[in-house]
Chains A and B, each alone.
Chain A
Amino acid sequence: MPTAEPIARLIEEFSKLPGIGPKSAQRLTYYLLQTPAEKTEALAKAILELKQNLSLCCVCFNITDTAPCVICRDTERDHSKICIVEEPADILPLERTKKYQGVYHVLHGVIAPSDGIGPDELKIKELMARLGDGSVTEVILATNPNTEGEATAMYLQTLIAPLNIRITRLARGLPYGADLEYADDVTLTRALEGRQEM
């Protein structure tokens, strides 16, 4: 059955998205066809504005619609603490905890030698420039606790250590709600090393 051109086009666009196959794309398209015009317009507008107004913050390289970003502009926050994360998406869960009042720095990746990604491909030069003026007292390394994240953290440590800035790493151990039975020995070793008085 030949499909009307606009429908076919939308189905094709949807199926390019991650996790959406041709069947889900069809369902989404026909769903949108039934929704009132103002709702589809709102969606279209949201998609358009996503790219038009967003850029990278000139200070922390988070994705932002203002320059600098909301977090970097906030004078209430502690600008002497910088938390280093791999991706902009990593800021969200940290912010949700409401326990961190410092600012961030997004590296946009990790050191991955076998993919040819070294320090020059990351925002490391920019980080060092930020640390250069002496106003920062603590750097929190919040790269992922896996091989590449650790490599990046260790490399950053060698760079930052001479600057006499306190360097900390997010604790590594058992996640809340986990099961000891399934823990791997690296996690358990770290959990034992980092055990705390009750």
Chain B
Amino acid sequence: MKLPRVYQTEAIIIKRIKLGEADRILTLFTPDYGKLKAVAKGTRRTKSKMGGHVELLTHSSLLLARGRNLDIVTQAQTINSFMALKENLKRMSCGLYISELVDSFTEEHIENRDIFSLFLDTLHHLSEAKNNDIALRYFELRLLDYSGYRPQLQKCANCNSPIKPIANYFSSSQGGVLCTECGYQEPPSRTLSLNALKVLRLWQNCDFTTASRVNINPELALELEQTLRDYIKYLLEKQVKSTAWLDRLK
């Protein structure tokens, strides 16, 4: 089938780099085409018709024309500009962090509707939530799920034996929780408290409303953050750059 010359899609803008005098290359995350790059011409000019509609962290409806290398954005209309998110430094930084995660975990032109709705929902949660930490951790855990890296939390990821209700271990390389014996034998794994395990198990299987009802003390929040951050770093084989900035804002 011949592809149409122009096509319409909604998208969240996750990255922008400058191109030439007044153009930008946008990285878009769309429900139908997954991640894709497109040129937005003239958007750096003050009087650009599209400028504000293709800002970072904006949910827009776009019309794209197929180009030889990159497609070209020909029309843009904002669906949601997430103003509440952008007016607060902390929230905006969280938004930029999840964009970087989406960018790192996805490949171009591979559709993933689950990640798209998770991303969009999380931007809404971040705009409203008092506690950004839960929204971020829930997002990370779900993103791992939808990208095929769901951590094994029900039984030992090494020996398959049931997990006892005590402090266990979490291994990034095994992709899940380890029983006390296996964890002891694998030094790079970190201890995982029973509470942390319970919270992760719950979040893996519930919606955000339920997830946000969990009461998390600062110590547990830090443990969850470190565990997921280590696992993500292991999978991506690099540090997520925005984390340095998030740490600084704390």
Q: Which residues of A contact B (CB under 8 A)?
A: 18-19, 111, 113-116, 118-119, 146-148, 150-151, 154-155, 158, 175, 177-179, 182-187, 189
Contacts and interface: CB of A to CB of B under 8 A. Distances in A.
Contacts of B55: 146-147, 184, 186
Given A175-B46, A184-B78, A116 B86 contact: no
A95 B133 CA distance: 44
Contact of A114 (B51, B52, B242): B242
A111 B78 CA distance: 24
Interface in B1-32: 15, 20-21
Interface in B85-111: 86, 88-89, 92-93, 96-97, 99-100, 103
A187 B55 CA distance: 11
A116 B52 contact: no
Closest 3 CB pairs of A and B: A184-B52, A113-B242, A113-B245
A19 B20 CA distance: 6
Contacts of B157: none
A150 B88 CA distance: 9
Size range of the chain B interface in the assembly: 20 to 34
27 contacts: A19-B21, A113-B97, A113-B100, A113-B246, A114-B15, A114-B99, A114-B100, A114-B103, A114-B241, A118-B244, A118-B245, A118-B248, A147-B56, A147-B57, A147-B92, A151-B89, A175-B46, A178-B47, A182-B49, A184-B51, A184-B55, A184-B78, A184-B81, A185-B83, A186-B55, A186-B86, A187-B52
Contacts of A116: 241, 244
A24 to B, nearest CB: 13
Given A186-B81, A187-B52, 5 more contacts: A114-B96, A114-B100, A118-B245, A185-B52, A185-B83
Interface SS of chain B: helix
A113 B93 contact: yes
Contacts of B37: none
Interface of B: 15, 20-21, 46-47, 49-53, 55-57, 78, 81, 83, 86, 88-89, 92-93, 96-97, 99-100, 103, 241-242, 244-246, 248
Contacts, number: 74
Contacts of B89: 151, 154-155, 158
A185 B96 contact: no
Contacts of B20: 18-19
Contacts of B242: 113-114
Given A114-B242, A118-B248, A179 B49 contact: yes
A93 B3 CA distance: 44
A111 B245 contact: yes
B41 to A, nearest CB: 14
A92 B100 CA distance: 33
A113 B241 contact: yes
Contacts of A119: 248
